[in-house]
Amino acid sequence: MVTPEKRLEPLQLFYKYHHRLPTYREAAKLWRIASTNAVSKIVHKLIEQGYIVKAPYGRLMPTRQFSALLLRGRVPAGFPLPNEEDVPD
């Protein structure tokens, strides 16, 4: 099962090029889903997680969290470890 966070990347790319979020039918094509009902469920999860909001007139709008960089893994903090070739014999 694909998580809502995985569904976010195609939306971010769409927003980058079109300066708006896709309609439900456009989102269905992006996610390769046949049902707009399934799109609605995913959109509601993204709303619950704070990535998008529904404007009073029904249009979907991105939040600040939507544009945040997605981190891929962790980098250890602290001082760098020396390379084996940097250590004197």
Tokens of residue 71, six digits: 């981190």
Q: Mean pLDDT throughout 46-63? A: 90
Q: What is the pTM of this model?
A: 0.70
- Per CATH, the number for 4-67 is 1.10.10.10
Confidence grade of residue 72 (pLDDT, cut at 50, 70, 90): low
Domain boundaries, the chain: 4-67
Structure confidence by residue, pLDDT tens digits, 26-38: 999 999 999 999 9
| Share in percent of the chain as helix, strand, coil (round to 5) | 50, 5, 45
Compute how many other C-beta atoms are within 10 angstroms of the C-beta atom of residue 21: 19
Task: Give residue 51's pLDDT.
Answer: 92
pLDDT: which is higher, 65 or 86:
65
User: What pLDDT sits at residue 42?
Assistant: 92
**Across all residues in the chain, what is the average pLDDT?**
83
